[in-house]
Amino acid sequence: MSLHVVRPGPLATLQDRGRPGLAHLGVPRAGPLDAPAADLANRLVGNDPGAALVEATFGGLELRTDAGAWVAVTGAPVPVAVDGSPRGHACAQWLPAGATLRLGVPTAGVRCYVAVAGGVDVAPVLGSRSTDTLAWVGPPRLVAGTTLPVGLAAGRPAPHDTPRPPEPGPLRVHAGPRADWFAAGALAALCRAPYVVGEASDRVGMRLVGPVPQRVRAEELPSEGMVLGAVQVPPSGQPVVLLADHPPTGGYPVLAVVEEADLWQCAQLRPGDEVRFRRA
C-alpha cells in the first residue's frame, strides 16, 4: 500500500531514529525533534520504534491511502479528521482504503507525528530514512503528489497500557565544555532568567532571546565538535540550543548542554514561548 500526500502543510518530513555516529563524516543525526511523541505514534500502530513516520510542522497535512491501514497522530494537540469526520488524537485509528487523513492547525505546540502500521518504506540513505534539513541528506521534504510506500505491518495496534511522553518542565542543563569562557556564575544566571523562543528557530536550533551571558574571553574559537543539546553563544550573545539537524562542528563557545531527555520540549515550543533552564 501507499500513502499519497495531498497537502504537506508548512513543512512535512520523514523521520526515523536518525543517523547518530556519522558526525566525523560531517553528517547531522536528524531524527524526530519530539522523540517521545514519535515513539508513541509507532507504538500505537504496532510498529518497531525505528519505523519511519511523518513529522508535520504546524499541521496542515493531508494524506490519502490506497488501502486500509492503522494510523496514529501524536505530538502537538491538533484536530484530526478522516474524510471530514473528527477522529481522536494519540490513539490508533483505522484509515479505510481511499480515505483522506487531515490535520488542522495545532492548538498548542508545533510538531505532529503521523505513523502508519508498517512504517514508511522509502529507501534509506546512510542507514536512515530521516530527512536532514541542514544538508538535505535523506528523503526530500514532502510535497503535494509525493507517494510514500508503506511496509508490512509488524504487529497489532496497541492502544492500551502505552507509556505516554513525560510532562514538560525547565530544561535541565550541564556545564558545557567552554563554560570557562564565561564569567563566574554565567551558568547560574542562565538558569535564573527566563528566555523567549526566537522567530528563526527550526530543526537546526532553538534560538533564544534574553539576557546575554557575560564572556571573559573574546578571542575567536576554532571550529570544534558540537553535541546534541549544546547551548552555544554566538557573537550576538543570544544562546542557541542545537537540535537534531545541527551541524557537527561550530565555532562559538558552548556554555551548557541540555539533558537529552528534555530536548523533546524544544520541538513543541513556539516563537514567543518562555523557556527556563535549571542545573541537572
Q: Which DSSP symbol is given to 240?
A: E
Same domain, 121 and 6: yes
Summarize pLDDT for 72-101 with one digit per residue, the tens: 999 999 999 999 999 999 999 999 999 999
Q: Comparing 64 with 158, which gets the higher pLDDT?
A: 64
Summarize pLDDT for 185-228 with one digit per residue, the tens: 999 999 999 999 999 999 999 999 999 999 999 888 999 999 99
Q: Does residue 54 belong to any structural domain of this protein?
A: yes
Here the CATH number for the domain that contains residue 188 is 2.40.100.10
Q: Does residue 155 belong to any structural domain of this protein?
A: no
Give the 3-state secondary structure percentages of the chain, helix then strand then coil, rounded to 5. Answer: 10, 30, 55
* Strand 171-175 relative to strand 277-279, pairing: parallel
Same domain, 128 and 57: yes
Q: Does residue 163 belong to any structural domain of this protein?
A: no
Same domain, 182 and 123: no
Same domain, 117 and 194: no
Same domain, 136 and 33: yes
Q: Does residue 270 belong to any structural domain of this protein?
A: yes
Q: Does residue 157 belong to any structural domain of this protein?
A: no
Hey, which residues does 125 pair with through a beta bridge? Answer: 128
How far apart CA 38 and CA 152 sit, in angstroms, is 19
- Structurally, how many domains does the chain consist of? 2
Whole domain around residue 12: which residue ranges? 2-149
pLDDT of 163 > 90? The answer is no
Q: Pick from 77, 81, 78, 73: which is nearest to 55 by CA? A: 73
Same domain, 88 and 191: no
